[in-house]
């Protein structure tokens, strides 16, 4: 009877999780969908508390209480600009939990597990461990605790591959010859180290792919836990998470015209400076605030193209303010969002939504590109590679073939940039040297608020 109740609560949770994710296909239905998923989670937890093996609730309640407090604090206080860091941290927590459950199961059985269970457990613990440290390093890079530039050394890929091969070798040995506790913990340790080495050579600009990939690993670790515990809701939820991350990684890679292997082992940014010498010639034209303000004030259509620079300058509210001033004058304002702008999938959309920009003005790459020729002013805010025309025009460019926002087709382009330096990828951007392009240097937020004033006076 009790078992039936637990299994039914899991079935209900599975259904509600799927309905919840289905709700995310549209912003209107998303909130309700999430409430369904939350209810499903509650049911599953209540069901589990009736499990017959549980003899003491002390540690369960303590864990639930501490976790809820920390989770709530994070949920309420984390600013939207820090969303990539928060997500990286939660991948680490999820994966760590999966790894711990796996370690506990192995220890409890004294290492003598059936072949099938041991295979699933090995996957769970390996994926869980490497995702934990990998996500923590990603967190440190995003938070600025560690430099975001890729860290590479000679023979890095060979060393990493050898380490991975050793880890998998131990795993296979443990499946065939079960029972060795020291070997098991060696495997766990190696997986922890491998996670760090995996993320070390990856640059800040590639973070959207890595975030999606770590998301996928964390989900698959949960699914493997489901195999170990023969628990279907765990398999379903873990697989949904794993595949969501996988689909996002593919989308992000496609948006950069690169393969996953290239992102993981290419160490972009260190090798990409080869084209430096014969780069674009000419000078960047700095323009005056008044000129731009007049152009914008009398434009028919202005398109904003935000990048990570907008997030670091926390300029989303000022962008919105400028847009409102323009809209009041009858200017049509749109926003062009590149899939890999920012540090995680959908980063820019969330920031603009926070600043009260209606989602009907946010346009995807394919939607906004045909509009640039009829756009009077395109304003690039702290974006670089996603508007680099070299990706389209120069087949020898390291980013050749990457779909870009074609702002250079607009009648006039304004680039808001912190300084004259290159982007994160270290590539020259010919856009900055084009005659249609005007540069405005300085902190994006500051520049924008002065623009608001100038437009109001124009």
- The correct pick among 240, 256, 368, 407 for binding another protein (CB under 8 A) is 240
Q: Which residues are paired to 335 by β-bridges? A: 304, 362
- The correct pick among 147, 285, 300, 328 for binding another protein (CB under 8 A) is 328
344 near another protein, rule: CB under 8 A: yes
The Cβ of residue 177 has, within 10 Å, a number of other Cβ atoms equal to 9
> Per-residue b/e over 30-59, b at no fewer than 16 CB within 10 Å?
eeebeebbeebbebbeebbeeeeeeeeeee
Would you call 385 a catalytic residue per the annotation? Answer: yes
82 near another protein, rule: CB under 8 A: no
Contact code string over 247-286 relative to another protein, x by CB under 8 A = xx--x-----------------------------------
Q: How far is the CB of 457 from another protein (least distance, A)?
A: 15
Contact code string over 177-206 relative to another protein, x by CB under 8 A = ------------------------------
Q: What are phi and psi of 286, to 5 degrees?
A: -85, 135
- The correct pick among 2, 3, 5, 72 for binding another protein (CB under 8 A) is 72
Sequence-distant (≥ 6) Cβ neighbours of residue 41 within 8 angstroms? 13, 17
244 near another protein, rule: CB under 8 A: yes
80 near another protein, rule: CB under 8 A: yes
Instruction: Mark the segment that binds another protein (CB under 8 A) among 40-48, 183-191, 380-388, 405-413.
Output: 40-48
Strand ordering across the sheet containing 377-381: 362-364, 332-337, 301-306, 377-381, 412-417, 437-441
CA-to-CA distance for 455 and 458, rounded, in angstroms? Answer: 5
Tokens for 376, please give them. 């009077």
Q: How far is the CB of 335 from another protein (least distance, A)?
A: 11
172 near another protein, rule: CB under 8 A: no
- The correct pick among 288, 356, 374, 453 for binding another protein (CB under 8 A) is 356
Name which of 242 and 398 has its Cβ closer to another protein.
242
Residues in 409-428 at the binding interface with another protein, rule: CB under 8 A = none
Pure H helices in 267-376: 289-297, 308-312, 316-328, 347-354, 365-368
CA-to-CA distance for 363 and 296, rounded, in angstroms? Answer: 20
Q: How far is the CB of 438 from another protein (least distance, A)?
A: 26
User: Catalytic residue positions?
Assistant: 385
């Amino acid at each position: 009877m009790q078992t039936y109740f637990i299994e039914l609560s899991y079935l209900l949770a599975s259904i509600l999780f799927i309905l919840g994710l289905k709700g995310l296909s549209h912003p209107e239905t998303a909130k309700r969908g999430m409430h369904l998923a939350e209810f499903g989670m509650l049911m599953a937890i209540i069901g589990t508390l009736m499990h017959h093996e549980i003899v003491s609730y002390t540690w369960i309640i303590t864990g639930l209480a501490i976790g809820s407090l920390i989770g709530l604090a994070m949920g309420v206080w984390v600013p939207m600009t820090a969303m990539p860091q928060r997500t990286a941290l939660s991948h680490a927590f999820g994966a760590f939990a999966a790894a711990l459950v796996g370690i506990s199961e192995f220890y409890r059985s004294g290492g003598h597990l059936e072949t099938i269970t041991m295979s699933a457990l090995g996957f769970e613990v390996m994926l869980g461990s490497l995702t934990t440290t990998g996500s923590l390093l990603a967190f440190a890079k995003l938070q600025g605790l560690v430099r975001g530039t890729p860290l590479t050394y000679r023979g890095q890929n060979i060393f990493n591959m050898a380490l991975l091969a050793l880890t998998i070798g131990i795993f296979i040995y443990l499946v065939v010859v079960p029972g060795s506790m020291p070997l098991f913990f060696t495997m766990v340790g190696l997986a922890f180290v491998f996670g760090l080495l995996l993320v070390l050579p990856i640059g800040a600009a590639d973070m959207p792919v890595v975030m999606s990939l770590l998301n996928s690993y964390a989900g698959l670790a949960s699914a493997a836990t489901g195999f170990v515990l023969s628990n279907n809701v765990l398999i379903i939820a873990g697989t949904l998470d794993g595949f969501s991350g996988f689909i996002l990684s593919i989308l992000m890679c496609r948006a950069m015209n690169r393969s996953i292997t290239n992102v993981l082992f290419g160490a972009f940014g260190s090798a990409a400076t080869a084209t430096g010498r014969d780069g674009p010639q000419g000078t960047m034209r700095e323009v005056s605030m008044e000129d731009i303000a007049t152009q914008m004030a009398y434009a028919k259509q202005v398109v904003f193209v935000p990048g990570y620079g907008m997030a670091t300058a926390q300029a989303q509210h000022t962008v919105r303010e400028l847009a409102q001033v323009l809209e009041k004058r009858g200017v049509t304002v749109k926003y062009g969002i590149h899939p890999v702008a920012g540090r995680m999938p959908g980063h820019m959309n969330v920031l603009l939504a926070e600043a009260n920009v209606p989602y009907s003005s946010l346009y995807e790459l394919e939607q906004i590109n045909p509009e640039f020729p009829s756009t009077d002013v395109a304003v690039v805010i702290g974006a670089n590679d996603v508007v680099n025309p070299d990706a389209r025009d120069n087949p020898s460019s390291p980013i050749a073939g990457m779909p870009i926002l074609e702002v250079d087709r607009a009648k006039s382009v304004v680039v808001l940039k912190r300084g004259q330096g290159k982007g994160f990828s270290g590539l020259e951007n010919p856009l900055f040297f084009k005659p249609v392009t005007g540069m405005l240097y300085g902190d994006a937020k500051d520049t924008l608020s002065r623009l608001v004033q100038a437009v109001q006076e124009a």
